[in-house]
Structure 1
Amino acid sequence: MERILVVGVTGAGKSTLARAVGERLDLPYYEMDALYFTGPGWAANDTLTEEVARLTSEPRWIVDSLGYPEVRDLLWDRADTVLWLDYGKRVVMPRVLRRSVRRTVTRESLFGGNRETWAGWLSKEHPAWWAWSQHAGRRQEIERRTRDPRFAPLDTRRFSRPRDTAAWLASV
């Protein structure tokens, strides 16, 4: 486990797990949303592909994302391990709702200095709506990729319950 991709649906806990594994294995951790959103108004990084190519050319790293479409194949091609948080909506929805309420109330600064707002809750791209609407599609995409012969050398660990993830993490 030298080049790890942590995948799952929105709200599964990818960043939390990636940070913890990175600390335990002394791996550089890269948060995909922080790489992608670089400025006000949720501006996208024009050099994302080049930046991710540079970071993943290093021998050791951990990234917390299925990956934005422009870098998805690059991440999957370069990873040696996939940690899949395959949690149902009953797990992820309360998590994403708590997180978004906290971020909105505290005006927490996020990627590129952006913030979640009450008005943002009305957008189909708000994390809560995104988690609900994209849940099945994300799971199917990850399932397809884990079965793709092109990625067969990947060591894939699929966790369907948070307690299984916690037990595994305790063993790392």
Structure 2
Amino acid sequence: MKKINVVGTSGSGKTTFSRALAQRLNVPCIEMDALFWKPGWTQSTDDEFFAKLAEALDCDTWVLDGNYSRTTAIKWKDVDTIIWVDFGFARTMWQAVKRAVLRVRDQRELWSGSGNRENLRMLFSRDSILLWTLKTYRVNKKRYRALIQNPQYAHLRCVRLRSPTQCQAFLAECSP
């Protein structure tokens, strides 16, 4: 495993897992949200985003954290492993709620240099990450199931982790 994309619904724990895996393998962890979001919660254009992503992936090894289906051609061009963090709905929603509440409470900057922080208004808006998780959970499950069964990606190692215990076991088996 040299080029790994960790995917999963918002709140699934993919960022936490990606960071732990990258640390375990001693490789860079690239967070797609950090490439996409500009200061003031401004979204990058596709051209900007695709260029940033291509540049970030221009190295020998990495763990890429994120979905963004419109980037599949870029991010899976050289990927050798897809890890799908696929916890049950209740666990995923609980993690999303817990994360959102902690982010609002702590007012941590989400991506270094962006100044972006979550607030209460965001939690209850139509752009809420919690609403996003609710809307995309089943869609993402269907999409990733189809992608890992797609013959076009048969050459990739696909790992589906369905619990924190499976995640920990997978990490324990990994070595640089």
Match of 1:154 among 153, 156, 174: 156
The SS at the match of 1:78 is coil
Q: Give the deviation of 1:21 after TM superposition.
A: 0.9
The answer on whether the counterparts of 2:5 and 2:81 sit within 8 Å (CA) in structure 1 is yes
Asked if 1 retains the 8 angstrom alpha-carbon contact of 2:24 and 2:171, the reply is no
Q: Aligned equivalents of 2:73 and 2:127: distance in 1?
A: 23
Deviation of 1:117 (Å): 1.1
Which residue identity lines up with residue 64 of structure 1 in the other structure? Answer: D
Q: Is 1:119 aligned to residue 121 of structure 2?
A: yes
Larger mean Cα displacement after TM superposition, 5-14 or 159-168: 159-168
Q: What is the TM-score of this pair, normalised by structure 1?
A: 0.93
Aligned-partner residue type, residue 171 of structure 1 = E
Aligned to 2:16: 16
* CA-CA distance at 1:146 after TM superposition: 0.8
Separation in 2 of the partners of 1:136 and 1:93? 12
> What aligned pairs does 1:23-42 form with structure 2 within 5 A after superposition?
23-40=23-40, 42=41
Supply the RMSD in Å over aligned alpha carbons. Answer: 1.3
The DSSP-based 3-state class of the residue aligned with 1:82 is strand
Q: How far apart are residue 78 of structure 1 and its match? A: 2.2
The code of the aligned residue for 1:158 comes to R
Deviation, 1:99, is: 0.7
- Any idea what SS the aligned residue of 1:84 has? strand
Alignment of 1:168 onto 2:170: yes
TM-score by length of 2: 0.91
Of the structure 1 ranges 51-60 and 97-106, higher mean CA displacement relative to structure 2 is found in 51-60
**1:45 and 2:48 aligned:** no
1:72 CA displacement: 2.6
Q: Distance in 2 between matches of 1:143 and 1:150?
A: 13
Distance 2:72 2:38 in 1: 18
Whole-Å separation in 1 of the counterparts to 2:59 and 2:153: 19
Q: Which residue of 1 aligns with 2:56?
A: 55
Note the C-alpha offset of 1:45.
Answer: 2.4
Aligned length: 170
Contact 2:3–2:81 at 8 Å: present in 1 too?
yes
Deviations 1:69-124 (A, max 9, x none): 44232112321001111111111111111110111112222232111111112223
Cα distance in 1, alignment partners of residues 77 and 143 from structure 2: 15
Identity of aligned residues (%): 29
Q: Give the letter for the 2:99 counterpart.
A: R
1:119 is aligned with what amino acid? R
Return the alpha-carbon distance in structure 2 between the equivalents of residues 116 and 57 of structure 1.
Answer: 31
